[in-house]
Amino acid sequence: MKRIKTLILTAAVCLAGSTQITPAAQDKWFTAKAPLSNGQSKEFESSFLFSESYFRQSGYIYQDELAKASLGLAVSAFSSLDSMSQYGASADAGREKNIAAAYETLGFENRRYFNYDAPLNDSSAKVAFSIASKPMPAEGYTLVAVVPRGGGYGAEWGGNFVVGSGVYHESWSKAAETVVSELTEYIRNLNAGGKVKIWLTGYSRGAAVANLAAAMLDKSDKALWRPEDIYAYTFASPQPVVGKTSGHPEGEDTANPLFGNIFNIVNPADPYSALPLADWGFTRYGVSYYLLTESVSRGVSDEYRKLTGQEYDPKLTSENRIRGIEETLMRLYPDRAMYVKKLQPVLSEFVTFLCTKQPDADGKWIHGENMSAFLSRYGDKGKKSYNAAMDLIDLEEAARAKLNAGKPLSDQARETIAFFTAFCQVNGFTLGEMTRIVTTLAQYLRETGTDGLTPGTDLFTGILRREHYPEVYIACMKSMNGVEQFTRRN
C-alpha cells in the first residue's frame, strides 16, 4: 500500500510540468545522426545536451530536457547511412555506427549490440537494440541505457502489421520480451555495486517496443531496479497494447499510476501513431503528450529547414486526415479477428516483399523492379491478377466519373491499388474482396491526396508521411519550451 501511495504522489508531481536544467561542468553535448527521411543519400545531424542531473529526480517526473536527449539517442539508434550499401549482408555492416558514437561521447561503457548484424531482409519478430552503462560513482548508481532501433530496419516492417489476437501486439511484444530478458541478464552481470537506473527510449517501431518493455520492467518482481528509477521516453510510438476500457477481458490498465514513468511524445498528425486502431482497443502505456505544432509553427519550420534544407508547414496536416486512415481500415476490416485472419498475413507479406532488396551485378543492394519481381514469383497468375485489378479500378473510375465524384486517380495511385489488390488475389482473396479493397483504397487516396506507396519505404507518401519523420519531431521538440506546449492524454 505504501508503494502504491508513493507512485500516486510521484505521478501527481508529474502534472506540475517539466524541470529546467542549468548546464553543469559534467554535462555533455552529443550529436545525433540519421539518414534523411526524404530519401536523399545524406544524413542529418542535431545536437542534444546530456546531464547527470536528469536522473536525480524520480522517473515519474517529466523532464523536457531529458525528453530531448532521449529523442537524440533514439534517433542515433537508426541504421547508419553507410550500412545501407550492405543492406542484405550480415555482420560487420556498421549499422550501429551512430549510436556507438553517441555512447562513446557520453562515456557509456560495456556496450552491447543485438540484431544489428541481422540482414535487413530478415523479417522475423525481433528488433535491433543496444545496452550500455555509465558508472555514476558520485551519484551512487550506474545508469543503464537501452535503445531499440526505430529506423532503417528493412523487412522488419512486415512485422509491424502482425497484430495477433492477444492483449499485446504480437511482433512488438516478442521483441520487447527479448529486450527485457537481455537487459535483466546484463544488469545481473554488471558489477554495479548496488543501485541501477534505467534510461529507455525508442522511436517508431523502437518506441512501441520500448513502451511495452518499460511496462514489463515496471511490473517485474526481480528487484534489480525500482520503478522510480526507470526513465522511459518514446517518440512517434504506435499503440502496442489493448486497454482495459476496450472490453477485452484481459485488457491492461494502461493509465495505472505504476506506468506513470512512461512518457510518449506524439505528433497528432503522424499516421503511424494511430495504428493499430483505437477502435480495436489499442493504446499505449503511461502518459502521452501530443505536440501542439501549429502554436509554434514558425519555430518548427525554422528548425526543420536547418535539419533538411527544405520547407515545412505544420498547418498543412491535421488529425482529421489521420482519422481518415482509421476509418479506411475500419471500412476494410471493422472486426480485428477478421483482420488477423484475412488481411494480416497478406499485408505483412506484401510489405516484406516491398522491403526486400537483392544485389545487382556490381554487388550493390537495390530494390528490384517490383512488378518484375512480382511476376517472377507468381508468373501468369500474377499477371492475370494485376490485369483484373486494373479492370476493377477502371470500373470504379468510370462509376465515379458519371457521378462527378472526385478527380481521377493518379497513375501512381492506380499502380499502388492494382499492385496490392493483385497481391491479395494471388494469396487467396475473392473477386468480391478485391472489389472492396479497390473501392476503399481509391476513396482513401482521393480524400487524402496521397499518391500511394513508395516501394521499400513506407505506407504513405508526401505531406502525410512526413509527419512521421524524426526531423519533424526534432524540430518540434527544439521549438517547444516545456510541457505547457503539449496536450496531455492518459
Closest-CA residue to 265 (of 35, 62, 98, 48): 62
Q: Is the pLDDT of residue 89 over 60?
A: yes
- Total-model pTM: 0.89
293 or 72, greater pLDDT: 72
Helix (H, G, I), strand (E, B) or coil at 236: coil
What would the grid cell of residue 303 be? Answer: 528548425
Peptide bond into 276 cis (omega under 30): yes
Q: Which residues are CB-contacts of 294 (< 8 A; sequence separation ≥ 6)?
A: 314, 315
Q: Give 228's pLDDT tier (boundaries 50, 70, 90).
A: very high
With CA atoms as reference, report the closest residue to 206 among 413, 473, 447.
473
* Range from 34-38, 115-119, 214-218, 297-301 carrying the lowest mean pLDDT: 297-301
Which cell numbers hold the place of 356? 526486400
Is beta strand 241-242 parallel, antiparallel or unpaired with respect to 196-203?
unpaired
Whole-number pLDDT of residue 388: 94
235 pLDDT higher than 80: yes
At 184 the pLDDT is 94
Q: What is the pLDDT of residue 248?
A: 76
pLDDT at 457 over 60: no
Q: How far apart are CA 474 and CA 300, in angstroms?
A: 9
More confident residue, 236 or 314: 236
- pLDDT exceeds 80 at position 490: no
User: How far is it, in rounded angstroms, from Cα 53 to Cα 141?
Assistant: 13
CB atoms within 10 A of CB 340: 17
Q: How confident is the model at residue 11 (pLDDT cuts 50, 70, 90)?
A: very low
**Short-list 335, 204, 171, CA closest to 274:** 204
Average pLDDT, stretch 221-239?
92
Q: Which residue has the cell 519531431?
A: 473
Residues contacting residue 378 through CB under 8 Å, at least 6 positions apart: 385, 426
Burial code (b: 16+ CB inside 10 Å, e: under 16) for 82-110 equals: ebbebbbbeeebbbbbbbbbbbeebebeb
What pLDDT band is residue 366 in, cutting at 50, 70 and 90? confident
Top-ranked range on mean pLDDT: pick from 181-190, 221-230, 473-482: 181-190
3 state SS of 238: coil
- pLDDT tens by residue, 307-323: 988 887 766 555 555 55
E strands within 121-268? Answer: 129-136, 141-148, 196-203, 230-235, 241-242, 262-266
User: Is pLDDT at 10 greater than 50 in this prediction?
Assistant: no
Q: Which amino acid is at 296?
A: V
Q: What is the pLDDT of residue 105?
A: 96
Average pLDDT of the chain to the nearest whole number: 84
Domain with CATH 3.40.50 in the chain: 2-317+467-489
Q: How far apart are CA 488 and CA 287, in angstroms?
A: 7
467 falls in which pLDDT band (50, 70, 90)?
A: confident
Answer yes or no: are the C-beta atoms of 128 and 116 closer than 8 Å.
yes
Q: What number is the average pLDDT over the span 117-124?
A: 90
pLDDT tens for residues 370-417? 778 888 889 999 999 999 999 999 998 898 888 777 778 888 888 888
Which set of grid coordinates corresponds to residue 308?
Answer: 533538411
Which pLDDT band holds residue 460 (cuts at 50, 70, 90)? very low
Q: What is the mean pLDDT of residues 251-268?
A: 93
CB neighbourhood size of 398 (10 A): 9
Residue range 181-189: average pLDDT?
A: 94
The residue that leads in pLDDT, 329 or 203, is 203
pLDDT at 449 over 70: no
Q: Describe the crossing of helices 97-106 and 64-76 by its angle, rounded to 10 degrees.
A: 140
More confident site: 272 or 240: 240
- Dump pLDDT digits (tens) for 412-439: 888 888 989 999 999 999 999 999 989 8
More confident call, 8 vs 81 = 81
What's the start-to-end Cα distance of the chain, in Å?
A: 23
| DSSP class of 454 | B
> Which is it for strands 287-291 and 262-266: parallel, antiparallel or unpaired?
parallel
Pick from 117, 149, 118: nearest CA to 131: 149
In single-letter form, the type of residue at position 121 comes to: N
- DSSP class of residue 26? T
Q: What is the pLDDT of residues 144-174, one digit of tens each?
A: 999 999 999 989 988 999 999 999 999 999 9
pLDDT of residue 324: 61
Say what percent of the chain tops pLDDT 90. Answer: 46
Average pLDDT over residues 302-308: 88
Residue 149 makes CB contacts below 8 A (sequence gap 6+) with 77, 78, 79, 95, 115, 116, 127, 128, 129, 202, 205, 206
Residues 329, 309: Cα–Cα separation, whole Å = 35
Most confidently modeled range among 119-133, 189-203, 370-384: 119-133
- Round to whole Å and give the CA distance between 131 and 129: 7
Residue position matching grid coordinates 521516453: 233
Contact present, 7 and 227 (Cβ < 8 Å): yes
Query: What was the pLDDT predicted at 179?
Result: 97
Whether residue 1 has pLDDT greater than 70: no
Burial class of residue 134 (count of CB atoms within 10 Å of its CB; 0-12, 13-18, 19+): buried
Task: For residues 191-199, give the mean pLDDT.
Answer: 81
Phi, psi of 143 (to 5 degrees): -90, 125
pLDDT reported for residue 19: 44
pLDDT above 70: percentage of residues in the chain: 84
Give, for 112, the enclosing helix (H) or strand (E): strand 109-114
Which residue did the predictor score with more confidence, 5 or 375? Answer: 375
Q: Which CATH architecture has domain 2-317+467-489?
A: 3-Layer(aba) Sandwich (3.40)
Phi-psi region of 418 (alpha: psi -120 to 50; beta: other; left: phi over 0): alpha
Cα 226–Cα 6–Cα 262 angle in degrees, nearest 5: 55
In whole angstroms, give the CA distance from residue 207 to residue 381. Answer: 39
Question: What does the pLDDT read at residue 285?
Answer: 97
Q: Is 306's pLDDT higher than 80? A: yes
pLDDT confidence of residue 14: 42
H/E segment holding residue 21: none
Report the candidate in 33, 41, 142, 140 with the shortest Cα–Cα distance to residue 79. Answer: 33
Residue 451 clears pLDDT 70, i.e. is over it: no
